[in-house]
Structure 1
């Protein structure tokens, strides 16, 4: 079969994608505890391998899969979980379908593969059932509350105490107390609503809160006592990164709008920080702390 250089390069890219997909699906299959999911991923890996063999028959080349991409998605699986990675892979599937759509008029094999790519996406959607996504509401509760309360508290005492160690101590005590309080409140609320998994829900809430506390206090522990302004600036950047990170995760895993949620959380957290900062300065002056 004689193909144009452009089409041959398109086929080669398709071959690389199929080889990469075969490895990724195989990896996800081995990670699954659910037997049905494991079998489906195994079948999908075999399909991708078969597709790659067809394209190899045209290119006559042995291609190298996208090793960095594979490693990246494996790391994401550990950090974000199964659902997040599958959603990202669905985007790759859509790109593959577009490529096959362009190839159909020259290569009849592409039409059959296009149907199989569509089938892959439908299967993936039906498989998505990850435990951690059942508790997104609990994680949002812990994260939001920690960002608002701790950002405000730390902003309020940073310029009043003017010492990173004192601020860190205040943040740790406040954060741990608030974590236990928030987890207990969530447990009681879930129990009152008859949730059989109330303890697990409260654990997710507490974990999200505690991780946020640790990240916000960390700059004050790492920087010297007199660099409280720099520590405060790093904390604000950390807040924005946490909001960005979490909302990106939710936007991909739950297919919810990213920008609106990000701006909403950022505005609330920064507004509280500004108000608390003003209150801290006023309290410092009114109580005469400078004179002590």
Structure 2
């Protein structure tokens, strides 16, 4: 299947986002106070790494994760608190579902990634109900 320039832009942006999320979740896991939150963020980091690999298989490009979110989110945790931050994180996960929906039809292997993003948002929101 031919990947158009527009497809490649979407796929590369998604791959970068997933890579960045690995570092972000690992950094959050070290920062948060509750063990369950840390365990959840470590699990999410692992799953986001798998997602990055799915996109790498499509793009055939090796990208380097950017540390920006891994620096900013732990700071936000201290400044705005877990309730507000977790809501923002979940919103980001749910937004990824919409972005991936646009390319799922052409790249069916993204369907599981899209479904995971919804589950990730739900997992982060569930931490607020504990």
Q: State the partner residue of 1:197.
A: none
Q: State the partner residue of 1:14.
A: 14
Q: State the partner residue of 1:113.
A: 113
Q: Residues 25 and 45 of structure 1 are in contact (CA less than 8 Å); yes or no, is this contact kept in structure 2?
A: yes
Give the Å deviation of 1:71.
2.5
Give the Å deviation of 1:81.
2.0
Q: State the partner residue of 2:83.
A: 83
Report how many aligned residue pairs link the two structures. Answer: 130
- Let me know the Cα RMSD of the aligned residues: 1.9
- The equivalences for 1:35-50 within 5 A come to 35-50=35-50
Aligned partner of residue 98 in structure 1, secondary structure: helix
- The equivalences for 1:106-255 within 5 A come to 106-128=106-128
TM-score by length of structure 2 reads 0.88
Distance 1:65 1:95, change over 3 A: farther
Moved more, 80-89 or 118-127: 80-89
**Unmatched runs of 5 consecutive residues or more in structure 2:** none
Structure showing greater Rg: 1
Give the Å deviation of 1:129.
5.8
Q: Residues 83 and 129 of structure 1 are in contact (CA less than 8 Å); yes or no, is this contact kept in structure 2?
A: no
Q: State the partner residue of 2:24.
A: 24
Q: Residues 28 and 41 of structure 1 are in contact (CA less than 8 Å); yes or no, is this contact kept in structure 2?
A: yes
Q: State the partner residue of 2:34.
A: 34
Give the Å deviation of 1:66.
4.0
**Unmatched runs of 5 consecutive residues or more in structure 1:** 131-292
Distance 2:39 2:69 in 1: 23
TM-score by length of structure 1 reads 0.42
Give the Å deviation of 1:110.
1.3
The answer to which structure, 1 or 2, has the higher relative contact order (CA under 8 A, 6+ apart) is 2
Give the Å deviation of 1:50.
0.5
Distance 1:9 1:3 in 2: 10
| Residue-by-residue CA offset, 1:100-126 (whole Å, 9 max, x unaligned) | 101110111111111111111111111
Distance 1:70 1:101 in 2: 26
Instruction: Give the ranges of 4+ consecutive aligned residues of structure 1 lying more than 6 Å apart after TM superposition.
Output: none
Q: Residues 91 and 121 of structure 2 are in contact (CA less than 8 Å); yes or no, is this contact kept in structure 1?
A: no
